[in-house]
Amino acid sequence: MGQFNHKDLLGIGQLSEEDIELVLDTAESLKVISARDIKKVPTLRGKSIVHFFYEPSTRTRTSFEIAAKRLSADTVSLSASTSSMVKGETLIDTARNLQAMNPDLIVLRHSSTGAPHILAREVPASIINAGDGINEHPTQALLDLFTIRERKGKIRGLKVAIIGDIAHSRVARSDILGLTKMGAQVTVAGPPTMIPVGMETLGVTVVMDPHEAVKGKDVIMLLRIQLERQSAKIFPGIREYARYFGLDRKLVSRAKKDVIVMHPGPINRGVEIIPDVADGPSSVILDQVSNGVAVRMALLYLLIGGKQSVDLD
């Protein structure tokens, strides 16, 4: 395998096209491990990985934990709610304290943009950003790219629509950065209050009408509507959102015949996606979850695997 010359994975913004291809190629070769009877290789034996989630997360944390264990790393899990470390302590102090225990890698999810960048500057351990505020969620974008490449054989030249709350989504931001970098054409759509000003400077097309957005597309990516964060100020209501932007079969039929439908999960059935579509033949939502484990294994391996080769025999 090639060389990944980064200490950390903080965002898609930092990666070159070659970097991304290396991650996807590595993930492809590691994916087979999870399909085996014995789902474990000794590659990261004796490495310590800390999962530090200031925001609650099961899906992402579980995916990272499973990835780490399939590579034989040791893991420790911290959460803000159980963490006295957080009380009255700055993030930098927390980082230095964790570092003093000599972890090889820290996976951080934090509600503040830039938190993993601060950690990365402070500590010699590798940092993976598992989501920082509304900034980036790079491992989600990489698993999305992996899934697209797996299904379509390529990314370059594909037409991708992203629908939802673009303004408040770190997933959207990382996906847009990754897709445009890999040569896809991106169109975004959503209620006006959910589309940030100046999106065009990122090289994407903005439309208001979802019918226009999905027309002729190879890929439709939906974003999760954060029901728990909903307020009257951002959009008129869930029912209105669902009626206008909710992906149903009619909307899907305007895309290419072989369109794939993606969603970072957890899905709100009947809101951003109609069950028919979520469970239909176009949906690759569960592939995304499977591929998440493979992509995270690849990143762990590339960041701290050193010169170890992976035993795939």
**Catalytic site positions:** 59-60, 87, 109, 137
Place of tokens 């994975």: 9
Q: Which is nearer to a second copy, 47 or 217 (CB)?
A: 47
The strand order across the sheet containing 219-222 reads 205-207, 185-189, 159-163, 219-222, 260-262
- What does each C-alpha distance from 135 to 10, 61, 116, 154, 260 come to in angstroms? 10, 18, 11, 26, 26
Q: Which is nearer to a second copy, 24 or 67 (CB)?
A: 67
Residues at the interface with a second copy (CB under 8 A): 34-40, 45-48, 50, 56-59, 62-63, 65-66, 69-70, 74, 76, 78-79, 81-90, 93-94, 96-104, 227-228, 265-269, 286-290, 292-293, 306
CB of 197 to a second copy, least distance (A): 29
Decide if 160 contacts 213 (C-beta within 8 A): no
Q: Which is nearer to a second copy, 86 or 199 (CB)?
A: 86
Of 34, 53, 21, which is closest to residue 293 (Cα–Cα)? 34
Q: Which is nearer to a second copy, 159 or 305 (CB)?
A: 305
Q: Which is nearer to a second copy, 2 or 266 (CB)?
A: 266
Secondary structure E strands in 100-147? 105-110, 126-132
CB of 117 to a second copy, least distance (A): 20
Cα separation, 205 vs 183, in Å, equals 14
CB of 145 to a second copy, least distance (A): 17
CB of 275 to a second copy, least distance (A): 9
| Helix, strand, coil abundance in the chain, percent, nearest 5 | 45, 15, 40
Decide if 224 contacts 272 (C-beta within 8 A): yes
CB of 133 to a second copy, least distance (A): 16
